[in-house]
Structure 1
């Protein structure tokens, strides 16, 4: 009868050890979560309230178990700590991807700026050439919508010179 009591007492102690192997953390909504598995990686370290084999709000020291913790609890705590994901605070792969994305975007912006500058230089050269043609006094003719050739009169010529000068002012800087 004495042995049965000791076995029951031992079983009760083992059940309490299993209950102490629980994780407790606060999720993003502020609710307490209890689990026998480690929290997901997106849970911050400060939100972890309890780890297996440790008391509430203590940190895990995997180098040496504290003397207040029983050897069985220390072994299970070390085992769970070893199986828990290591959170360094910075994900190197994510940082590398972010850096590469930023570099690619910067290169794309630079290429677009170079394309705009090249177009402005080309427009400037064309405007200067057209202005020289209008300033030379030679008659200038165009093809209208019907496909007929028409010579510009003085008002149309003056309007075209103003338009060309505006292009030169904006693109030849």
Structure 2
């Protein structure tokens, strides 16, 4: 191994170590022992015992449930630092979406997702119907213009053979198309 390869490996290793160190949870368990883990602590660990959480500075972690419970009890948000006002607003906005205490969070998520999918499906169906209606109206308008301009129009007869419309049939067809346009394309 040459010197430059060893240097690159050393730099890569030194960059990889801090990234894994920042993705660790730290908290003190019930016996006062420091626990390091890559998964969040169990719900039985109070938020004051959590020393560090991924993506936050040491001591800045406060779970959403604790803030929501404090606000529900009518307590002021005394623990939050002064610069944490936007975060408090975000938490209160998220608290509206939180499920009731006895419900399964996954079930609540699935219900919200189904409602959103249903609303998206309804919107897409309405849009598709509106587009189909516009297309039908344009086709009827073009057909009516052709009838007015004297364009040769043929229809299939009872025997399946094509026959051209005469003047009376053309006027009757134009009336029928005009009534349909007035009813569906207004």
Please give the range of the TM-score, normalised by the shorter of the 2 chains.
Answer: 0.3 to 0.5
TM-score, with normalisation over the residues of structure 1?
A: 0.45
TM-score, with normalisation over the residues of structure 2?
A: 0.42
Structure whose CA Rg is larger: 1
